[in-house]
C-alpha cells in the first residue's frame, strides 16, 4: 500500500479524532469543599486566563481613548447599552467595528479577543499595559497591513488555533477544514481545577458518598493525575508551559503523558541560543529539562504554589529552601553551603547581584512588557559567549563591560572551578554551522547519557541535517534510550538509512510506548511502501502512520501543516498533491515565500513557463517588489535578474 493515500486524506480535510470530555463538572463543583485552595486560585492568573468582558475583568481604558500605529487607528469605547467596542481604521483605510468577545490575561498586559466571523476569535494586537496604564502595540516594528498573514486577523493570531487550549479547561478546537470555520467548545473559560487535576466526576462521587459509606478514597482520590509523582507533576504543567506541537485537538485529559500529546521543540536556532538559553518565547519546560534541578527530581511545585501560583518564599528565601548550610533532606546530593554569602556571589548584600535569580535565571522580555526568567538555572558562563554568541548574565547587568572581562573576573573568584569545562553549547554551535563537519562531536554528545535528553535529541536533529547515512547506522541503539525525546530524534534520523534497512531498524519503534516516537518512526518511512515489511510490522507501521495522520489533521488551520504536507508530497513525487498543499499555505499566509516558490517551480514543470509567470504575478501582488519573486519573473521572461536597488 502506498503511504501517499494517508496524505491525500489529510489534504481532503479529514477531521481530527475527537477526545471524550466525560466526567468534567466545572470548578464551581470544587469550591464548596476546597475553600482555601479555591480562594488562592480565584485571584490567580490561571483563573483569569480567559474571562468574559465586564467592568470587573476589563482593565483597559474604553472611555473613548484611541491608539495610533503605522497608519492604523483604534478607538476604544463602551456603549450606553453595555459592551466594550473597538472601532478600527486599518492601514489600508478599511474600517470595521468589533465588540469585545472576551478577555485574555490580567497582568502585566491584557489582550482583547474579537470575533471576526462566527466562531473565529482573533487576538487583537493592541494590548493594555496594566503597569503603566496605557495602550501599546505588541509588534511595533512590524509592517502589518490587513493582507499580511501576521496581521491580527491572520492565522497566526487565531485564538481558537494558537492560544485557547492553554487558557481554557476541556477545550476542543473543532475546526472544519472544508469550510475554514470553527465550532470550538470548552468546559469553562480560564484554567480551572479540572485543567490540572482532570475530570472530577469520580472524585465528587466518592466524596458525596463518603459521609455515609466511609469508603476509602480511590487512587489519587479519583483524579487521573498523581501530583506526588515528580514526572507527572512537571509534565502536567508542561502541557501549557512549553513550546510544542500538539498531536490532539484541544486539551488532552490531564494525566496524559506529555510525549503522547505533544512534540516538544528542541534547542533549534531562533528558539534557543546554541548553549540552550532562551531566545524566542519557549515557555519554561524546554529550559527546565536542561537543569540539574530537574535531573534531581525538583518540580514546579517545589517553588510555586499550586493554586495561587505565587512563589513559596520571597527573594533568595525561595532558593535557600535547599541551597543553604542546612541543605534539604529531600535532595541529599545537594552540597550544603552558605550561598547567600558574598563569599559565594561576590556582590554587595541586598544588591541586584546578590539575588540568586540575577545570575542563575536571567530574564528576557516578551509580548512587549512581560519579563520571563530562564528556568535552566545555569551557572554563568561568560567565557562561552564569544564561542556561542549567546548572552551572559554578567554583562546584562554590567553593561559597560564585555564577556571577556566577566570571564576573567569569575576565574579570579573561582580559580579551581569544575564548571568551566566543555559545554554542550560549544558542540551545538558547530553543529548549527556545519553538521557534517561536527558529526563526530554531535555523535558523542548524543551518546552522552550524563547530558539532558533535550540536548542529546538536539544533537541528533543536527546530525539529521547532515544527510549522512552513517550517522543513522551508528546511533541505532539510541532507539532504546529511556528518554522519549532521544528515541524520537533517533527514529527521525533513520530517514537517512536505505529504505529496507530503515524498516528493520524502526520495527520496534512503531509500537514504542510514546506516541511522539511512533509518529517520528512513521514519518521516517514516508515515501516508501509497506509491502516489503513483514505483515505484523506493516500493520504496526500503518497504525503509527494513522496516529501521525490524526495529528496533522488536528492542525489543518496552520499554514505550517500544509507546508509539511507539501514537502511530504514532494518526497513521494506527487506534484498534484504538493501543489494543493502549497496553494493552501499561501491562501492562509500570502507572505510564505517558500510556498510560492515551490508553486512556481511545480507549475513551470507541469504546465509551462507562461502558467508559472501567472503564479509569480499572483505572488508579487501579495509581496510587491520582493527580490526573489522579481528574479523568478525575470528568469521566466528570459530577462536578466534585476539588480538590488535598481529601478
Split at pLDDT 50, 70, 90, the class of 17 is low
- Does residue 82 register a pLDDT over 50? yes
Residue 81: predicted pLDDT: 82
Chain segment 489-539, per-residue pLDDT in tens: 999 999 999 988 999 999 999 999 999 999 999 999 987 665 567 777 889
CA–CA separation, 254 and 238 (whole Å)? 11
In the block, which residue shows the cell 479547561? 169
> How does DSSP classify residue 13?
T
pLDDT score of 531: 59
- pLDDT of residue 646 exceeding 50, the answer is no
- The pLDDT tens digits for 313-355 are 999 999 999 999 999 999 999 999 999 999 999 999 999 999 9
Domain locations in the chain?
50-166, 260-407, 424-545, 559-636
Q: What percent of the chain has pLDDT over 70?
A: 95
Taking the C-alpha atoms of residue 514 and residue 286, their distance in angstroms, rounded to an integer, is 18
Residue 4 has pLDDT above 50, yes or no: no
Cβ atoms of residues 155 and 177 within 8 Å = no
Cell 479524532 belongs to residue: 17
- What lies within 8 Å, CB to CB, of 257 at 6+ separation is 235, 514
- pLDDT of 3 reads 44
pLDDT of residue 14: 57
* pTM of structure: 0.93
Length of the chain: 647
CA angle 469, 7, 619 (to 5 degrees): 95
Distance from C-alpha of 41 to C-alpha of 35, rounded to nearest angstrom: 10
| DSSP annotation string for 306-371 | TTT--BSSSGGGTGGGTSSSS--TTSTTSPP--TTSHHHH-S-TTSGGGSHHHHHS-EEEETTTEE
What is residue 260's predicted lDDT score, i.e. its pLDDT?
97
Tell whether the torsion through CA atoms of 139, 142, 148 and 150 is positive or negative: negative
What pLDDT, on the 0 to 100 scale, is given for residue 643? 63
Instruction: Report pLDDT for 416.
Output: 86
pLDDT in tens, 588-634: 999 999 999 999 999 999 999 999 999 999 999 999 999 999 999 99
The percent helix, strand, coil of the chain (3-state, each to 5) is: 45, 15, 45
CATH of domain 559-636: 1.25.40.10
Q: What is the mean pLDDT of residues 424-451?
A: 98
Q: Which residue shows C-alpha cell 497591513?
A: 145
Place of cell 537517512: 496
Q: Which residue has the cell 469585545?
A: 100
CB 492 within 8 A of CB 525: no
- Weakest mean pLDDT among 6-20, 170-184, 379-393: 6-20
- Alpha carbon 515 to chain centroid, angstroms: 18
Answer for the pair 3, 525: CB distance below 8 angstroms, yes or no: yes
Question: d(Cα 175, Cα 177) in Å, to the nearest integer?
Answer: 6
| Mean confidence (pLDDT) of the chain | 93
Residue 39, all three cell numbers:
480562594
**Given pLDDT bands bounded at 50, 70 and 90, which one contains residue 63?**
very high
Cell digits of residue 174? 473543532
**Whole-angstrom distance, CA of residue 607 vs CA of residue 622:** 22
Identify the pLDDT of residue 5: 46
User: At a CB cut-off of 8 Å and minimum separation 6, what does 151 contact?
Assistant: 144, 145, 157
- Would you give the end-to-end CA distance of the chain in angstroms? 54
Amino acid at each position: 500500500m502506498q503511504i501517499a493515500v494517508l496524505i491525500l486524506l489529510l489534504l481532503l480535510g479529514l477531521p481530527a479524532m475527537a477526545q471524550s470530555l466525560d466526567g468534567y463538572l466545572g470548578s464551581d463543583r470544587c469550591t464548596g469543599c476546597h475553600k482555601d485552595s479555591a480562594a488562592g486560585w480565584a485571584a490567580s492568573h490561571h483563573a483569569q486566563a480567559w474571562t468574559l468582558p465586564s467592568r470587573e475583568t476589563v482593565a483597559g481604558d474604553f472611555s473613548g481613548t484611541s491608539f495610533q500605529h503605522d497608519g492604523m487607528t483604534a478607538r476604544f469605547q463602551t456603549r450606553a447599552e453595555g459592551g466594550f467596542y473597538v472601532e478600527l481604521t486599518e492601514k489600508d483605510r478599511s474600517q470595521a467595528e468589533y465588540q469585545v468577545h472576551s478577555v485574555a490575561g490580567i497582568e502585566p498586559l491584557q489582550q482583547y479577543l474579537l470575533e471576526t466571523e462566527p466562531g473565529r476569535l482573533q487576538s487583537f494586537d493592541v494590548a493594555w499595559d496594566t503597569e503603566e496604564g496605557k495602550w501599546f502595540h505588541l509588534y511595533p516594528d512590524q509592517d502589518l497591513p490587513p493582507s499580511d498573514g501576521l496581521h491580527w486577523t491572520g492565522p497566526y493570531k487565531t485564538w481558537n488555533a494558537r492560544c485557547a487550549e492553554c487558557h481554557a479547561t476541556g477545550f476542543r478546537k473543532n475546526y472544519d477544514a472544508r469550510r475554514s470555520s470553527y465550532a470550538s467548545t470548552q468546559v469553562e473559560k480560564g484554567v480551572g481545577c479540572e485543567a490540572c487535576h482532570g475530570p472530577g466526576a469520580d472524585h465528587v462521587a466518592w466524596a458525596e458518598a463518603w459521609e455515609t459509606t466511609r469508603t476509602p478514597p480511590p487512587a489519587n482520590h479519583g483524579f487521573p493525575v498523581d501530583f506526588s509523582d515528580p514526572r507527572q507533576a512537571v509534565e502536567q504543567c508542561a502541557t501549557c508551559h512549553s513550546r510544542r506541537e500538539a498531536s490532539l485537538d484541544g486539551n488532552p485529559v490531564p494525566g496524559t503523558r506529555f510525549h503522547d500529546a505533544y512534540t516538544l521543540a528542541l534547542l533549534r536556532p531562533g528558539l534557543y541560543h546554541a548553549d540552550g538559553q532562551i531566545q524566542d518565547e519557549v515557555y519554561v519546560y524546554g529550559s527546565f529539562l536542561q537543569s540539574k534541578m530537574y535531573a534531581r527530581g525538583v518540580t514546579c511545585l517545589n517553588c510555586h504554589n499550586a493554586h495561587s501560583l505565587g512563589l513559596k518564599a520571597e527573594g533568595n528565601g525561595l532558593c535557600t529552601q535547599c541551597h543553604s548550610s542546612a541543605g534539604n533532606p529531600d535532595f541529599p546530593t545537594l552540597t550544603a553551603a552558605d550561598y547567600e554569602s558574598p563569599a559565594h556571589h561576590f556582590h554587595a548584600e541586598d544588591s541586584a547581584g546578590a539575588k540568586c535569580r540575577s545570575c542563575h535565571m536571567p530574564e528576557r522580555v516578551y509580548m512587549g512588557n512581560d519579563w520571563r526568567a530562564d528556568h535552566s538555572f545555569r551557572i554563568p558562563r561568560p567565557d562561552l559567549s564569544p564561542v556561542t554568541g549567546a548572552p551572559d548574565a554578567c554583562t546584562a547587568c554590567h553593561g559597560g563591560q564585555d564577556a571577556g572581562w566577566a570571564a576573567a573576573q569569575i576565574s579570579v573568584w573561582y580559580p579551581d572551578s569544575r564548571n568551566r569545562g566543555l559545554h554542550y553549547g560549544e558542540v551545538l554551535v558547530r553543529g548549527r554551522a556545519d553538521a557534517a563537519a561536527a558529526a563526530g562531536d554531535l555523535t558523542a554528545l548524543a551518546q552522552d547519557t550524563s547530558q539532558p535528553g533535550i540536548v542529546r535529541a538536539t544533537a541528533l536533529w543536527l546530525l539529521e541535517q547532515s544527510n549522512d547515512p552513517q550517522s543513522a547506522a551508528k546511533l541505532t541503539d539510541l532507539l532504546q534510550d529511556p528518554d522519549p525525546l532521544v528515541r524520537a530524534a533517533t527514529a527521525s534520523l533513520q530517514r537517512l538509512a536505505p529504505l529496507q534497512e530503515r524498516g528493520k531498524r524502526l520495527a520496534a519503534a512503531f509500537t514504542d510506548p510514546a506516541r511522539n516516537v511512533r509518529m517520528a518512526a512513521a514519518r521516517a518511512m514516508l515515501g516508501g511502501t509497506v509491502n516489503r515489511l513483514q505483515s505484523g510490522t506493516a500493520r504496526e507501521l500503518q497504525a503509527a502512520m494513522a496516529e501521525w495522520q490524526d495529528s496533522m489533521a488536528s492542525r489543518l488551520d496552520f499554514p505550517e501543516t500544509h507546508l509539511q504536507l507539501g514537502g511530504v508530497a514532494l518526497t513521494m513525487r506527487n506534484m498534484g498533491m504538493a501543489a494543493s498543499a502549497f496553494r493552501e499555505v499561501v491562501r492562509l499566509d500570502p507572505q510564505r515565500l517558500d510556498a510560492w516558490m515551490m508553486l512556481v517551480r511545480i507549475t513551470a514543470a507541469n504546465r509551462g513557463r507562461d502558467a508559472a509567470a501567472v503564479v509569480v504575478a499572483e505572488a508579487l501582488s501579495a509581496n510587491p517588489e520582493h527580490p526573489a519573486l522579481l528574479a523568478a519573473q525575470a528568469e521566466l521572461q528570459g530577462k536578466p535578474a534585476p539588480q538590488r536597488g535598481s529601478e
